[in-house]
Structure 1
Amino acid sequence: MLNFKTLFPIFLVAFACNFNQAQVISSVVKDSATQQPIPYATILLSNKKGVITNEEGRFSLLLDKNSKDTDSLFISCIGYEGLRKPLNQFTESVIFLSAKPIELNPVIVSNKQYTAEELIEQVKEHIDKNYSTALTKKRLFFRDSYHQNLTKSNYTFKESTIAALNEKFLDSVLNTIPKKSSRYTEILGDFYGKYEKDNQKLTLIKASELYDKQSELDITALEEKFNDILKKNIKHDSYFKIKSGLFGTKVDVDEIFTPENEGADAEALKKELEEKKKKEENRKKNFASFKKGSLGKIMEKQFFLKDSDLNFIHKDNRYSFKMVDFTYIGDDAVYILDFEPKRSADYKGRLYIHADDFAIIRLDYSNVKSLRTFKLLGVSLDQHLDKGKMIFSKNEEGVYHLRYFEEELGAKVAIKRPLKIIELNKRVKGRNKQNELSLKIDMASSGVNRHEVILFDSETITSQQFNAVQENNTVLPTYMPNYDPEFWKGYNIIEPNQAIKDFTAQVEVN
């Protein structure tokens, strides 16, 4: 077993007499009245470089060597008084924000009082001005969290002519499958392109994976045990017929048994090494490509794109809108609207619309029905969850860019059907059935993917600059059996929540 590493708190704000020695400001933002953490507050250094507090109100901001103690740190959140102070005045580990009293700006009062529908029309008219679809380079941090629960794992044993494949063995199979599992992947990199997935590039800077290798080892050991049983009971001139319901699949024994290596010659060994090298190269390439694909799906989801699934602006006739409130983000006046589907649309949510330029600066959304269901011959799928939020900020050119994105995607899968594994002989004609395992399975699982992306910098680039980018596919994630607060030291990221900090694998494998 592991000697577990000590998890150190990161809520430390250290200011020495020489300010340049301070590298990071770490704190938690709370409501001054309720003492509750304030999630998704924006933390900006001199209105340029910044981060977002996580759902627990925590943040860490890396200061570069050019930072001065007179630089201002500005903290803002919807409904709260903005807080601006020189860096050398932030000396507490907790920062409190006060709720902002709603006092309507005289200019807004004197203007036409918009209905919810009229505000949406203004949003549509200003979309091209407020949001850009040009080629950009974005420095970003992307955390992908996956949690799976095995909610049902039943079977009915019917028959087995192989003594070793008995109920005791099948029980060990079920005991080996983890009932709950979690995995966290984090990357820091530069993302290039527009919003089409075929026109994007990603260069990785650093990556990590946090999960429990013990569950993988258990499954590998079970597979070896299963193969050993088959070797002792199945002839090498046989093949399997796997039947479940109306369908059957043929599997040669040679596909399961690995050849003995004792007599392997130099040529065979060379071929094996070449195969391993090729697998490693593909693994490197596929990791970056997979992350780029995930980011591409996130980018194309932004509401101002005409093909976005969040189509409440471009297809606003499918939705009902309701004026909810008027508030401030710092000194900026904001209208709050709720929307819900009239008929067949998929989402409901809340919009925060800037009163001056009619930009949607924050969006919270969730699905109102399952986005996809499938059921056939005992196999069912229900994609029941799709909710998230987007936060935008304005750059020096007056254009809004995505600053923070969060989504949760959930699905339930169930299998309830008979299963047979039948050994058939290749050479014996007629009734050639040799051995059989027959059972009925009834299993179900639910899984949730959570994606968090924070974009630190976004700059417009030319086609020549984009074409000159060479993707870095050699960076692989560093495996961690438990959270290491030192791993991302020196980089701006989204602060981990308590679940990530508390995650500990059962066994560390080198």
Structure 2
Amino acid sequence: MQINKIIFSIVLLVCYQSYGQQTFTSILLDSKTEKPVVFATIQFNSKTGVISNDNGEFNITIKRDVKATDSLMISCLGYDEKRIPLLNFNNSTIYLTPQTVDLSEVLITNKNYTIDEILDKVKEGLLVNYDFGYTKRKLFYRTSNYIKMDKRYVDLEKSTIPEINQHFIDSLIQSIPKNIDNHTEILGELYGEIEAEKFQKMEILKACKLFDKSTEVNLKNYEERLNSILKKHVKRDSYFKIKSGWFSVKEGTDSSLFDDSTENDVTDTLLAEQRKKDSIRKIGFLHWRKMMIHQFENNNFIDSDNDLNFIHKSRRYEFELSDYAYINDMFVYVITFKPKRGEDYSGTMYINTEDFAVIRVDYKNVKPLSKFSLLGISNNKYLKEGTIIFQMSDNKKYTLKYRDETLGEKIGIKRPLKIVEKNKNVKGRRKQNEVKGEIHFIARSIEKTELIVFETETISASVYNNFKEKTLVEPIHLNQYDPEFWKGYNIIEPNKAIKEFKVISLE
């Protein structure tokens, strides 16, 4: 009888959770071109809303029963707002109508400021239009890394250690995948003031990482094989001379190669070390991601020292008032910019005509941000593009709503490499072993970061001071994208690459 009661209670709980919240999924398209409408705001109420992704897709969860009066308000720059009733929702595709602005109305209701006057007012408002005070913000953060190895080759010219031969080197190189993808997703809350020089406090509510663990295992296996080879051929008191062309460095041997501890000692040490690593990993994940979010949020045009300097160093850019538009019931100037004195970015600013706050900016570099090639080593930071969107909060100041940024970099190395084992405690020549060859690697990386703030609540300094960070959460490892992981949570809908991520088993 007791078991039946338990089962009945579980059924009731499941039914309550199922009917107590609903998830709505759709894609936004332009009604004329049928192209995806990106970065549109989909709002249910002041605390529940999401943004469409690069493909115009969105997914929003309402955590209560839907009423007949409930609806989604969809707004996007350049489009008419659209209200979608939620009762009997079946809109797999939602079309938005491009917006037209009545210029005669513009001329009547707005003073004709020059570009310079508008920019001066924007600069004056940077410190008063945006909220830098104490807040508690719920956010979702995603970072994706895509690495492609265009070339990976080592030509072994000489080796006095038989086991280190071209076949061993080739098999080691082949264990490194040509394409490496990984994704990290975090749902959390930030507490504190928004300052470039001061980190906020953070609580991670849930997190996951999509990556291939087998890559780490393969490399670890080769590391163990290499250590075994070195232990067999290298003397305990030797040192290594590592040379590449004119450059050389001296390195001692790793004492762990010759560790004579008993098996029990090793086991106890490993267990203690593992417990320590688990604790450090949780702490490190929180603090590392908090630092990355801090840098991502503060790296914008408001900071005078930032490379997005088209406002603070406006004389180095050309501006054009190209249009007017409505966005979230705000009438905005649409101002394009491009560099004229060797600066890096072009883009578009959307400026509120009432308070001259920049509420959105789209930017992209027009040339490599840095580029060099010297002595066989090259680096080219060829891409930086993104979008920053602010929204007005209840105190009439602006806070970050959404940001995305994509960075692209290409790295190459083509250098001779020689590793020589030397020992000054033996009779005769010091040189004991030598491995010599040439390495040639070219890799391209793309890093895409997204951040959306769902809720912003003003708090006091005492609430901030009393909040204690807890390092209880570390990311769950996923071998493939799992739509159930974030079920019931509002996040940024993942793109195609994330949805198709899957570790390929070699068994």
Q: Same fold (TM over 0.5)?
A: yes
Equivalent residue, structure 1, for 2:344: 346
State the Cα deviation string for residues 477-503 of structure 1 (Å, max 9, x = none).
Answer: 000000001101121110111111111
- Partners in 1 of 2:231 and 2:106 — Cα distance? 83
Query: In 2 relative to 1, CA 129–67 (structure 1 residues): closer, same or farther, beyond 3 Å?
Result: farther
Q: Aligned-pair RMSD on alpha carbons? A: 2.5
Q: Which moved more, 1:396-405 or 1:303-312?
A: 303-312
Equivalent residue, structure 2, for 1:364: 362
Equivalent residue, structure 1, for 2:186: 187
- Partners in 1 of 2:355 and 2:33 — Cα distance? 33
Q: Which moved more, 1:119-128 or 1:56-65?
A: 119-128
- Partners in 2 of 1:463 and 1:190 — Cα distance? 16
Equivalent residue, structure 1, for 2:10: none
- Partners in 2 of 1:260 and 1:440 — Cα distance? 35
Residues 481 and 507, structure 1, Cα contact 8 Å, conserved in 2: no
State the Cα deviation string for residues 291-325 of structure 1 (Å, max 9, x = none).
Answer: 01111111212322333332222222222111222
* Aligned match for 2:475, one of 471, 474, 477: 477
Equivalent residue, structure 1, for 2:127: 128
Q: Which moved more, 1:18-27 or 1:326-335?
A: 18-27
Aligned pairs for 1:79-118 (under 5 A) are: 79-88=78-87, 90-104=89-103, 106=105, 108-118=107-117
Residues 382 and 412, structure 1, Cα contact 8 Å, conserved in 2: yes
- Partners in 2 of 1:256 and 1:381 — Cα distance? 35
SS where residue 126 of structure 2 aligns?
helix
The reply on whether 1:276 has 2:274 as its aligned counterpart is: yes
- Residue 260 of structure 1 and its aligned partner are, at CA, apart by 5.6
- Partners in 2 of 1:61 and 1:428 — Cα distance? 72
- Partners in 1 of 2:439 and 2:386 — Cα distance? 35
Query: In 2 relative to 1, CA 75–508 (structure 1 residues): closer, same or farther, beyond 3 Å?
Result: farther
Q: Which amino acid aligns with 2:386?
A: G
Query: In 2 relative to 1, CA 479–258 (structure 1 residues): closer, same or farther, beyond 3 Å?
Result: farther
Residues 144 and 452, structure 1, Cα contact 8 Å, conserved in 2: yes
- Partners in 1 of 2:426 and 2:303 — Cα distance? 63
Stretches of structure 1 that go unaligned for 5 or more consecutive residues are 1-15
- Partners in 1 of 2:383 and 2:280 — Cα distance? 32
The reply on whether 1:407 has 2:402 as its aligned counterpart is: no
- Residue 129 of structure 1 and its aligned partner are, at CA, apart by 3.6
- Partners in 1 of 2:307 and 2:506 — Cα distance? 41
State the Cα deviation string for residues 178-223 of structure 1 (Å, max 9, x = none).
Answer: 1111000001101122122433111111110001122222212222
Stretches of structure 2 that go unaligned for 5 or more consecutive residues are 1-14
- Partners in 2 of 1:160 and 1:19 — Cα distance? 66
SS where residue 92 of structure 1 aligns?
coil
Q: Which moved more, 1:244-253 or 1:198-207?
A: 244-253
SS where residue 273 of structure 1 aligns?
helix
Query: In 2 relative to 1, CA 332–19 (structure 1 residues): closer, same or farther, beyond 3 Å?
Result: farther
Residues 197 and 293, structure 1, Cα contact 8 Å, conserved in 2: no
Aligned pairs for 1:287-326 (under 5 A) are: 287-326=285-324
- Partners in 2 of 1:69 and 1:405 — Cα distance? 33
* Aligned match for 1:380, one of 357, 378, 381: 378
Q: Which moved more, 1:351-360 or 1:66-75?
A: 66-75
Q: Which amino acid aligns with 2:39?
A: Y
Equivalent residue, structure 1, for 2:213: 213
Q: Which amino acid aligns with 1:139?
A: K
Query: In 2 relative to 1, CA 508–45 (structure 1 residues): closer, same or farther, beyond 3 Å?
Result: farther
Q: Please give the TM-score of this superposition, normalised by the length of structure 1.
A: 0.90
- Partners in 2 of 1:332 and 1:315 — Cα distance? 26
Q: Which amino acid aligns with 2:437?
A: L
Equivalent residue, structure 2, for 1:228: 228
Equivalent residue, structure 2, for 1:434: 432
- Partners in 1 of 2:254 and 2:325 — Cα distance? 69
- Partners in 1 of 2:139 and 2:224 — Cα distance? 41
Equivalent residue, structure 2, for 1:201: 201
Q: Please give the TM-score of this superposition, normalised by the length of structure 2.
A: 0.90
Q: Which moved more, 1:76-85 or 1:340-349?
A: 340-349
- Partners in 2 of 1:277 and 1:426 — Cα distance? 40
- Partners in 2 of 1:247 and 1:479 — Cα distance? 40
Equivalent residue, structure 1, for 2:167: 168
Alignment length (residue pairs): 491
- Residue 387 of structure 1 and its aligned partner are, at CA, apart by 1.2
- Partners in 2 of 1:361 and 1:495 — Cα distance? 23
SS where residue 228 of structure 1 aligns?
helix
- Residue 327 of structure 1 and its aligned partner are, at CA, apart by 2.4
Q: Which moved more, 1:29-38 or 1:107-116?
A: 107-116
Equivalent residue, structure 1, for 2:12: none
Equivalent residue, structure 1, for 2:63: 64
State the Cα deviation string for residues 449-508 of structure 1 (Å, max 9, x = none).
Answer: 110001001122222111112112221000000000110112111011111111110239
- Partners in 2 of 1:469 and 1:432 — Cα distance? 61
User: What percentage of aligned pairs have identical amino acids?
Assistant: 42
SS where residue 291 of structure 2 aligns?
helix
Residues 46 and 72, structure 1, Cα contact 8 Å, conserved in 2: no
State the Cα deviation string for residues 89-142 of structure 1 (Å, max 9, x = none).
Answer: 633211111112222362643432233333222322333342121122211000
Q: Which moved more, 1:479-488 or 1:47-56?
A: 47-56
- Residue 256 of structure 1 and its aligned partner are, at CA, apart by 5.8
Equivalent residue, structure 2, for 1:36: 35
Residues 30 and 57, structure 1, Cα contact 8 Å, conserved in 2: yes
Query: In 2 relative to 1, CA 398–239 (structure 1 residues): closer, same or farther, beyond 3 Å?
Result: same
